[in-house]
Amino acid sequence: MMPATATVYRSHLLDALPWVEYQFMPAGTPPPKEAAYGHQRHSATVLTSQQAFPAKNCQGDAVIASDSRPVAVYTADCLPILMVDRDQRRVAAAHGGLRGISAGIHINVMNKLCQLGAKRESLLLVIGPAIGPCCYELGQQMIAELQQQPVLVRLSPVLPWTTQQPHNPLARRPQASARQNGVWFNLPLLAQRMAESWGLPPANIEQLDICTYCTAEANASYRRNSHFGHGYQQRFSWIRQRD
């Protein structure tokens, strides 16, 4: 049950599908009791909902539904990614931190959906609340490491980072302050560019553009908590096919 004052985050792509039910839940709100989700380890491992129930029964960072049970992921600053195959009426959820995205967790999900009969043009990918480039600082050496990742070789010239901190006009709290003379990294955009490079049409991708550090609920960001000790709670995001 969500608090009456909770912000509801909606996706235009998913709302257009009457057979899909989903939520990017407020931080601290429990998922449906019957939800299937893995023991997340920042991996690129994809589970089925049968493998991922009971919850955390197996290690994995994405779940493809094999029945009408909700499939879920839990995040703080990482990307909650909900995916749909419109033709086969399949749904999936993925957890993507920097390690998981750079290892291709969402690409693995789309490949497996295609093995199950999906076509690239039938897939939708929606990125929920996650830390934005306005608040996500990485050390300079991390860019060099990312450029060596096999999955990112083709994208290494266009990795989405800048030395100038972007301004977020939607910020409800102060943005993160520079702490390591590093770079500001756009993890949602990296996930999007990887999906487009894989062959997903740009019109089939949606970012909600809600930064967990400066825009979402005050207790939504692990990184903000590490800076100020204000506390944080996990966000569950889930999706299912309606009966």
DSSP assignment of the chain: ---TT---B--HHHHT-TTEEEEEPPTTPPPPTT-B--B--S---EEETTTT-STTSSB-SEEE-SSSS-EEEEESSSEEEEEEETTTTEEEEEEE-HHHHHTTHHHHHHHHHHHTT--GGGEEEEE-S---TTT-EE-HHHHHHHHT-GGGGGGGGG--EESSPPP-TT-SSPPPPPSSS-EEE-HHHHHHHHHHHHT--GGGEEE----TTTTS-TT--HHHHHHH------EEEEEEE--
**Domain assignments of the chain as residue spans, ordered by start:** 12-130+190-241
Single out the residue of 119, 77, 72, 74 nearest to residue 91, CA to CA: 72
* pLDDT in the model for residue 2: 54
| pLDDT average per 10 residues of sequence, the chain (243 residues) | 68 98 97 98 98 97 97 98 98 98 98 98 98 97 93 92 97 95 96 98 98 96 94 96 89
235 φ, ψ (degrees, to nearest 5): -105, 130
- Predicted TM-score (pTM) of this structure: 0.96
Q: Which two tokens stand for residue 241?
A: 């096919």
Domain 12-130+190-241 part of CATH 3.60.140.10? yes
